[in-house]
């Protein structure tokens, strides 16, 4: 049983949003949605807060979920080049070595990003922790052939994985 220190229930709403508002990329509405349960001390454990935030996304509806997916930057894409990613995304992409792409890898990322966005209307999402450039490119090549529904579901699942990793970091586990 992993608890946060300080406990989310000991925070005021602004403190909670400042700490947990970025768990889901540029979507503080997720943290805001769970705030009533946080106030009741139902989210002081890592697993409980993770489940509540996941449920908020899963219950949000496809339009809001699409906005959440679109809030994520492309991998090794334009936002990375321009320095426009969140600190979390920047750190995660660097951790996977995406800031050290060879010219060939970079060109493939750019081509895949463009094809993927044209096909699905949102960026390719993968929780990069535990991956390197080669395994990310392999997953990218495989998933680009998915149908739209399967890929939408895959993107949401990857976003949940990213959020779980970010929550673990906040809890001091990773």
Which positions are catalytic?
Answer: 72
- Report the alpha-carbon angle 47-51-52, nearest 5: 120
In terms of Cβ atoms closer than 10 Å to its own Cβ (0-12, 13-18, 19+), residue 149 is exposed
Q: Give CA–CA dist 159/140, Å, rounded.
A: 15
Say which DSSP state 143 is in.
H
HSE-up (13 A, CA, CB side) for residue 8: 32
């Amino acid at each position: 049983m992993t608890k946060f220190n300080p406990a989310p229930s000991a925070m005021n709403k602004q403190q909670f949003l400042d700490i947990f508002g970025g768990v889901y990329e540029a979507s503080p509405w997720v943290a805001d949605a769970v705030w009533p349960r946080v106030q009741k001390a139902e989210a002081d454990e890592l697993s409980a807060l993770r489940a509540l935030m996941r449920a908020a996304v899963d219950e949000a509806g496809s339009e809001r979920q699409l906005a959440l997916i679109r809030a994520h930057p492309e991998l090794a894409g334009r936002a990375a080049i321009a320095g426009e990613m969140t600190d979390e995304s920047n750190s995660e992409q660097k951790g996977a070595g995406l800031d050290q792409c060879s010219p060939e890898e970079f060109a493939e990322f750019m081509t895949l990003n463009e094809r993927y966005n044209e096909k699905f209307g949102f960026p390719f999402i993968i929780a990069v922790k535990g991956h390197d450039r080669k395994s990310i490119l392999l997953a990218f090549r495989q998933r680009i052939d998915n149908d739209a529904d399967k890929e939408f579901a895959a993107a949401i699942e990857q976003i949940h994985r990213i959020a779980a990793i970010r929550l673990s970091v906040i809890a001091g586990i990773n």
